Amino acid sequence: MTERVALITGGAKGIGRGIALDLAAQRWKIAICYRTSEPEAKKTSLSITERGGQALAIRCDVSNPVAAKNLISQVEQQWGKIDALINGAGPYHRINLFEETVEGWNEMFAGNLHPIFYLAQAVAPGMKTRKTGRIINFSMANADHMISQPDVTAHYIAKAGVLILTRTLAKLLAPHGITVNAVSPGFIDSGSAPPEELAGVTKRIPAGYIGTIDDTVAAVRYLLSDEARYVNGANIQVSGAWGV
């Protein structure tokens, strides 16, 4: 099997780390991008190599369009190509809309939506040349409902935008053998929220329990597989039926 190369933004911890370790077991070459989580990135890189993959950890602020373009170039120069781009990075904060700052508002779009545009533009030429590629973007369960969200307004709008951008990229890139899909987690025990906070929302989840990182990784694994070659522009909700 030809060695495959993946770039995972936000790959140092949480769901991104879970995806990286899963791909490592399949002998992928994996570049993980991080902004501030250097200790976690080093640990994840070591775990990747221990599982049989090859690792490259790069500090990069993908909300900067020049830095995002350079990130793609750096990985392509290192390994010759990028087979899969997984956009997992994205800041989040909870604040009432009328208490939100201009800086906080802009951060949600700069971190969650804009990097997908920057990175897709940069990675598409190489994928087009090879007539193959996978792009997976992370949204959130219920973002497609476009309902009021007073405490996470900007984040929610950005994640709805991710779905529109995903579908647009899918339509544009499908003729070149490239698929672009979204994964939309609900409440996942990824280490970003306190256990007591997650426990409080369990009753709102029809399945009756909090999802795991492995649940989300499984959806990504499918979208990267040959079995998903005709799945394009889709949004897979990993939420135990919350938000549907």
The reported pLDDT for the residue numbered 154 is: 98
The reported pLDDT for the residue numbered 192 is: 74
- Is the pLDDT score of 120 beyond 80? yes
The partner residues of 189 in beta bridges, in order of sequence, read 212
Helix (H) and strand (E) counts for the chain? 8, 9
The reported pLDDT for the residue numbered 88 is: 95
The stretch 106-111 carries a mean pLDDT of: 98
- Is the pLDDT score of 172 beyond 90? yes
DSSP state letters, 62-123: TTSHHHHHHHHHHHHHHHS--SEEEE---------GGG--HHHHHHHHHHHTHHHHHHHHHH
- Copy the structure tokens of residue 14: 């949480």
- Is the pLDDT score of 181 beyond 80? yes
Cα–Cα distance measured from residue 146 to residue 108, given in angstroms and rounded to the nearest whole number: 16
Q: Report residue 175 CA to chain centroid gap.
A: 23
Give the confidence band of 193 by pLDDT, cuts at 50, 70, 90: confident
The stretch 132-149 carries a mean pLDDT of: 97
What are the tens digits of pLDDT across the range 17-50?
999 999 999 999 999 999 999 999 999 999 999 9
The stretch 85-106 carries a mean pLDDT of: 96
Domains and CATH numbers, the chain: 5-238 (3.40.50.720)
Tokens 């990130």 correspond to: 71
The stretch 225-240 carries a mean pLDDT of: 98
- Is the pLDDT score of 1 beyond 60? no
The stretch 199-209 carries a mean pLDDT of: 92
- Nearest CA to 14 out of 205, 188, 239 is that of 188
Give the confidence band of 73 by pLDDT, cuts at 50, 70, 90: very high
Cα–Cα distance measured from residue 200 to residue 78, given in angstroms and rounded to the nearest whole number: 45
The stretch 158-167 carries a mean pLDDT of: 98
The reported pLDDT for the residue numbered 197 is: 75
Q: At what angle do helices 38-50 and 14-25 cross, to 10 degrees?
A: 20
Cα–Cα distance measured from residue 202 to residue 210, given in angstroms and rounded to the nearest whole number: 6
The reported pLDDT for the residue numbered 199 is: 80
Give the confidence band of 198 by pLDDT, cuts at 50, 70, 90: confident
Largest separation between any pair of C-alpha atoms in the chain: 54
In Å, how far are 21, 33, 104, 108, 230 from 186, measured between CA atoms? 21, 23, 23, 18, 25
The reported pLDDT for the residue numbered 104 is: 98
